[in-house]
Amino acid sequence: MVTIRDVAAVAGVSPTTVSHALNGKGRVAPDTRERVLEAANRLGYRASRAGRALRTRRSGTIAFLVGWLQASSNQHEWLALDIYMQQASAAARAAFEHDICVLLSPPIATEQELRALGVDGGIVCDPVRDDLRVGLFEAVGLPVVTIERVPGRPDHRWYVRADNEESSRVLLDHLAEAGAERIAMLRFEADMAWVRESEAAYLEWCQEHGREPIIVPTSVESLENSAYRTACRLLDGPDPPDAFFASAERFASGVLRAAHERGLRVPEDLLVATGIDGYDSREAVPAVTAVDVQPALQGAIAAELLIARIKGEEPEAPVITPYRFHVRASTQGGRVSVAT
């Protein structure tokens, strides 16, 4: 491991001078500072995390909290969701560029549990109304950034979110163009901002197009099975839908299973699209048309936003990230031709 003494030997100065030059403290001539920085870069010197923590009173670690684990008995399924893993991985890569580590946090419920993590701040995914976790960070004086808004907290501007309203309307327009007449929305049963925004967009779209809204709350427990049971109930009803807007990840898998059991062909007999893209949507048979909220981009931006706050900066916020819309086999070649 390269030490300060190694950098001092190459730069031809004392270890104290190297320390001052790297920390921006003390009186160091500009040309000497430049020589020290060049030597440190050439040797690949990285400051000791323990030493830096003593100097800055920071741990060099930020927490990443997956959405709503406290309210779900099936925590393993939530942790394995593609969207969270992409967000966490991207946040970790972005933080590493600043020599900061990301801790995938267990559920926390008290200030004592948060302090025990020893972190400098946190990223909270999919906060619920007046989210306890956000309040805990604020109570102990640590900066917090959320991925998606905090319902009930209009004062909280430190968030990254997708344009859920516009992407929902794009998805609905696509289903209508593919021939759908009765579009059912499987609504994620949670008080999260993106859920409310998607639902509001669906209701407005139905009103504008003279369609009957069919919104069915679907449990957050065992995501695919919950969607399967809901889809079975709708498809067995007297006036079944001819298209599904599956709002959450893994909901589409449950819809496809229900359709297959009833001998319904997708997309010929039933159109299926989802509001959150992921591995399950891409690898399904048929592959499912989906909104890609670009979770990796969200995770990276959230990390940069949080690190700026930790440094005492005032970055621009909130940030609305772009989305992509992927048309796949579950809506292509349906009752009418689809422009892609």
Q: Specify whether the CB–CB gap between 188 and 248 falls below 8 A.
A: yes
- What is the end-to-end Cα distance of the chain in Å, rounded? 54
Answering whether pTM is above 0.85, one says no
Please name which of 310, 277, 309 lies closest in space to residue 291, comparing C-alpha atoms.
277
Give the mean pLDDT of 194-222.
94
State the pLDDT at residue 241.
98
pLDDT tens column, 257-298: 999 999 999 999 999 999 999 999 999 999 999 999 999 999
Q: Are 117 and 151 members of one domain?
A: yes
Pair (254, 220) in one structural domain: yes
Residues 6+ apart with CB under 8 A from 158: 143, 144, 145, 146, 305, 306, 309, 317, 318
- What's the count of helices (H) and strands (E) in the chain, helices before strands? 14, 12
Give residue-wise pLDDT tens across range 119-148: 999 999 999 998 999 999 999 999 999 999
Task: Check pLDDT > 70 for residue 76.
Answer: no
Q: How many domains does the chain have?
A: 3
Domain that holds residue 218: 164-293
CA distance 100 to 321: 23
* Structure-block tokens of residue 117: 């993590």
- What percent of the chain has pLDDT above 90? 69
Q: Do 268 and 204 share a structural domain? A: yes
Res. 221 pLDDT band, cuts 50 70 90: confident
Question: Is 240:269 a contact under the CB 8 Å cutoff?
Answer: no
**In this structure, what CATH number is given to the domain that contains residue 142?**
3.40.50.2300
Q: Which amino acid is at 188?
A: F
pLDDT at residue 338 in the model: 34
Is a pLDDT exceeding 70 seen at residue 70?
no
Percent of the chain with pLDDT over 70: 90
Measured in degrees and rounded to the nearest 5, phi and psi for residue 189 equal -85, 75
